[in-house]
Structures are given as structure tokens and as C-alpha cells.
Structure 1
């Protein structure tokens, strides 16, 4: 996410994958009692991981959604998730952070919650979602015909500091 993730931008995809696997459809193999969305539902019922007023980043930390392999990338990712409290959402009166937490609380309150999918969209695209968190029920994976609770967070590449291009042109 540009300035927040810096050279660790390469880890954004795997960090989304952690969420998408943990909150995805459960496996139906005999040897597994729980997994995916049904496991998260059980954890939510037992421990109230997602609570109104608790930042999403704190729940993400509890679930290990920052990964284990790179502490710098993990901490930067948590900074991105913290930043979502400053970003608007598609729901009037809710920040991006509140929108995610409230949508997850509502989803896991259902008898059969939807699997969840997190992705990014280009925050610079004013014709698209722009700079806001968007939560929808849709089919975000074209090769899986299943409805998900999709969470789309705004991201953009790192923007060069002001005046940097001017220095290059003067050197020419």
C-alpha cells in the first residue's frame, strides 16, 4: 500500500490470502471438525473476537492475520489495517474499520454465515470505489460459484514525494 507497506508491498497478496483461507469455505473432509468460516463463527460465538468499538486490527492480530515469516511486513500490514479507521466506507456514518467489524459481526450472527473474501481496489479510480472501504455480497472469484461477503480496501502505489520529478528534469 505504497507509503505504508514500502518495499513490503510484495507481501500484500499473501496477507490477503491468510484472511481468505481463514475465512473461506470450510473443507468437508471427514477428518476435519471445523475450518474456514464455520471455525471463525464458532470462535466468534465463544470469544466475541469482533466487537463494536474494537478496531479490526486488534482482531486481525488475535487471529494471526499478519503472518509469521516477516515481522516488518506484519507490522506494516497492521499499520494499513489501523489506517482504515481514517478511511470512509460505503456505509454512511461508518469508517472503513467500523464497516469491516460491523459487517463481520452481522455475518457471523447468521445461522449460516457467508465465507469472506478480502481484496484491494485502486483508490485513485474515482469512477470505481475510490478511497473508501466497500463491503458487498457477491461472487469475487469467477471460478468459484459461491456468494461471499467481500471486503474491498482502497490501495494505491507509493506516490513519489513532491518535487522529485522536478529534480530529474533539471539534471537533463
Structure 2
């Protein structure tokens, strides 16, 4: 079986980008970097959300990769199964709390409550897709900027420009920031500006 990455990420040592890509490739490059710079402080960020990704770099690269796999950041790809029966749709059962009039309305809908709720969620996702993309980009940029640029000049003004969707002002305010940090911020902020 082959391993695949569940996410893409970018690793930084101070304000310098070490690697970007799948978590396995990034881990390999960071491990190599740490062998040459054992005191380096490494931060790894998810490229979608800017959540920090924790990787334990102790030991050999094989040990690091095994821990990555155990953590769920890497997964074993299973061959596609074909055959008789219904395909697994990944349906998850959870509880929903509604008022009685909502349950009454759902019960009268064709297909029942579950089908109607799925349809309503899908419609809301389509309707709000552009707004959601902007909000997610702003959130990811904010998280990354707070960690990597929080002590840089014009940080607060740059955040205001980001949330005001003032691309020109935003780019001007971050222009003097370290190149790798600035480039990553621009990549994250692009959908929001």
C-alpha cells in the first residue's frame, strides 16, 4: 500500500520557508534542516487553515514518519473496492435539536427529515460559497500573521486592511516584511482581497 498526505503545509525556521507541500515531504526536508541546524525553531502551518501542525522530529526519519502515520497525518491508501452492494457514502449520524414546528415541517417533506436537511445544507453551502471562501481566507491569514508577523511593523494596520478587503493598502503595509513570510501571507490572503 502507498502512503498519501492528508494535507499540504508549509514549514518555517524563523522567517525563512524551509519547505511546502505534502506533510511527508515537508517532514523529510525539515528533518534534514534540523540535522544541519539542530537549534532551529520550526513552525509548520496547514496551508488551508494556518493551524499549526505538530510533528515530533526526535529520532530517525523512519521514526518520524511512523509517528506521522500514527497521528493520522499520513494514511495508507487502500485499493478501490468494487463489487456488489451500496457504496459507502460516509454518512455520519448526529443529534439535531429543533423546535416542534421544524420537525413537523421536515416530516412533511419528500424523502424525510435527513434528505431535506442534506438538501438545505447543500443549498446553503452553494449560496454562501463565495462569502465562506473570503471568511476562511481571512481567518487563515489572521492566524498565520498573528504567529509569524505579530511583532512586525504595521501588523495591526495590515490586519485592518485585510478585513476591509483593501488589497492595495494591505500589500503596501506588508511590503517590507521578510520575503518568505510576505509571500505566504499573500498566498493565504489572495481569495479575501
**TM-score after normalising by structure 2:** 0.22
**Higher radius of gyration, 1 or 2:** 2
**TM-score after normalising by structure 1:** 0.24
